[in-house]
């Protein structure tokens, strides 16, 4: 099958990274895959590393471009207009990586809601996302397909060793939706005798469009809260020094970080509004969204019960195999392809 994959941009963020994984899996099953982007950027380098040339997408040439493909997959709502144009010529999937933030994204970026309502086929990444999309947009054809990750070669469960302090990890863009301020409040709520036994490590870019939020927040990152900036490489080293992964978001359609944490055999703490909460089953906690006290209690548990870290991490690794396997993902995606062709 000849497959067109369209990204809205090429940045070191979750959506382009997920699309790269999709491209790799499809190619590994014998499909011909070509990648386009609406806006070029540095992440093209990662596609190139894996043998994918990234082409610039011109919506005015949809008819000509579509003639070279059997099916198109348009990644994120930012490609909604392109999806409507492409579906006039070939079966097209609008692959939504968003959930409750869809309405805000479309309003801020002047994206017509019709791109969701009128899309022939939509794929979303979790039951949490599907619930919002169904009740808000009444889509024509909606499928749920859980995200997956490709394990690095030779990757097995790593020992969750604690030296002096328990390290909690947040890896996210420093913006309000990610709930980082709530996690910082939760950390500060820890009793002094527990707080001195823990570190909150924060990795992520601080975009200028969220400067009113992230600049004062970063200034407050001290006394056990450490901001490391954006991570573009060295991910395995980051997880090696991590004991527990936190996803304190107010709204997260999935959470690749939760899946990564499970892949690296780390306990997971997520909020109720994280789509990937299905990965948390005997290996962590699902806490109330926006509730610092609830999050602080979960953090306290792992500081007080260090002996549980390795056991919970082992369960995380097992859950990753159950819920984020690339072959299971391909089976699901290929089934959708066959249904809409």
Residue 160 has pLDDT above 80, yes or no: no
pLDDT at 157: 56
Q: What is the pLDDT of residues 178-192, one digit of tens each?
A: 999 999 999 999 999
Confidence of residue 151 (pLDDT cuts 50, 70, 90): confident
Q: What is the DSSP string of 113-158?
A: THHHHT-SEEEES-HHHHHHHHHHH--SSEEE-----PPPTT--PP
Residue 156 has pLDDT above 60, yes or no: no
pLDDT at 163: 73
**In which order are the strands placed within the sheet that holds 225-227?**
225-227, 198-203, 166-171, 244-247, 268-271, 284-287
Residue 99 has pLDDT above 70, yes or no: yes
Distance, in Å, from the CA atom of 97 to the CA atom of 102, rounded to the nearest integer, reads 9
Read off the tokens for 131.
């619930």
Residue 167 has pLDDT above 80, yes or no: yes
Contacts of 147 (CB under 8 A, 6+ apart): 18, 125, 254, 256, 259, 276, 324, 329
pLDDT at 252: 93
pLDDT at 57: 97
pLDDT at 236: 84
In this prediction the pTM is: 0.85
Q: Hey, what domains does the chain have and what are their CATH numbers?
A: 2-148+326-340 (3.40.50.2000), 166-323 (3.40.50.2000)
Residue 146 has pLDDT above 60, yes or no: yes
Confidence of residue 281 (pLDDT cuts 50, 70, 90): very high
Residue 153 has pLDDT above 80, yes or no: no
Q: What is the pLDDT of residues 120-136, one digit of tens each?
A: 999 999 999 999 999 99
Read off the tokens for 307.
């002996």
pLDDT over 90 for what percent of the chain?
88
pLDDT at 13: 82
Task: List C-alpha distances in Å: 252 to 15, 132, 258.
Answer: 12, 12, 11
Distance, in Å, from the CA atom of 150 to the CA atom of 153, rounded to the nearest integer, reads 9
Q: What is the pLDDT of residues 80-95, one digit of tens each?
A: 999 999 999 999 999 9
Tell me the average pLDDT across 302-328.
Answer: 94
- What is the overall mean pLDDT for the chain? 94
Q: What is the DSSP string of 164-216?
A: SSEEEEEES-SSGGG-HHHHHHHHHHS-HHHHTTEEEEEE----GGGHHHHHH
Confidence of residue 313 (pLDDT cuts 50, 70, 90): very high
Distance, in Å, from the CA atom of 228 to the CA atom of 168, rounded to the nearest integer, reads 13
Contacts of 12 (CB under 8 A, 6+ apart): 42, 43, 205, 230, 232
**Residue 92: strand pairing partners:** 72
Read off the tokens for 215.
């600049």
Residue 55 has pLDDT above 60, yes or no: yes
pLDDT at 154: 55
pLDDT at 155: 52
Distance, in Å, from the CA atom of 56 to the CA atom of 143, rounded to the nearest integer, reads 28
pLDDT at 12: 84
């Amino acid at each position: 099958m000849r497959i067109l994959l369209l990204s809205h941009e090429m940045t070191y963020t979750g959506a382009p990274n997920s699309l790269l994984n999709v491209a790799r899996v499809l190619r590994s099953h014998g499909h011909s895959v070509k990648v386009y982007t609406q806006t070029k950027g540095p992440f093209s380098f990662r596609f190139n590393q894996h043998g994918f040339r990234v082409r610039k997408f011109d919506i005015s040439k949809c008819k000509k471009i579509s003639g070279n493909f059997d099916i198109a997959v348009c990644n994120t709502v930012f490609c909604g207009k392109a999806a409507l144009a492409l579906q006039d010529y070939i079966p097209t999937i609008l692959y939504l990586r968003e959930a409750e933030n869809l309405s805000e994204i479309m309003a801020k970026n002047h994206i017509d809601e019709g791109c969701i309502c009128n899309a022939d086929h939509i794929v979303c990444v979790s039951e949490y996302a599907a619930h919002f999309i169904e009740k808000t947009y009444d889509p024509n054809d909606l499928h749920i397909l859980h995200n997956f990750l490709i394990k690095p070669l030779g990757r097995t469960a790593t020992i969750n060793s604690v030296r002096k302090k328990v390290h909690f990890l947040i890896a996210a863009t420093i913006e309000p939706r990610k709930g980082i301020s709530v996690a910082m409040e939760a950390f500060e709520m820890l009793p002094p005798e527990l707080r001195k036994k823990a570190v909150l490590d924060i990795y992520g870019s601080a975009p200028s469009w969220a400067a009113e939020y992230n600049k004062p927040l970063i200034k407050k990152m001290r006394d056990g809260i450490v901001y490391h900036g954006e991570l573009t490489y060295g991910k395995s080293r980051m997880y090696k020094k991590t004991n527990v992964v936190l996803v304190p978001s107010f709204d997260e359609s999935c959470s690749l970080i939760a899946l990564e944490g499970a892949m690296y055999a780390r306990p997971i703490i997520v909020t109720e509004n994280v789509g990937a909460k299905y990965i948390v089953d005997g290996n962590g906690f699902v806490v109330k969204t926006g509730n610092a006290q609830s999050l602080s209690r979960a953090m306290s548990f792992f500081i007080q019960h260090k002996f549980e870290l390795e056991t919970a991490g082992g369960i995380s690794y097992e859950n990753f195999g159950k819920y984020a396997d690339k072959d299971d993902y391909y089976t699901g995606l290929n089934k959708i392809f066959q249904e809409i062709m």
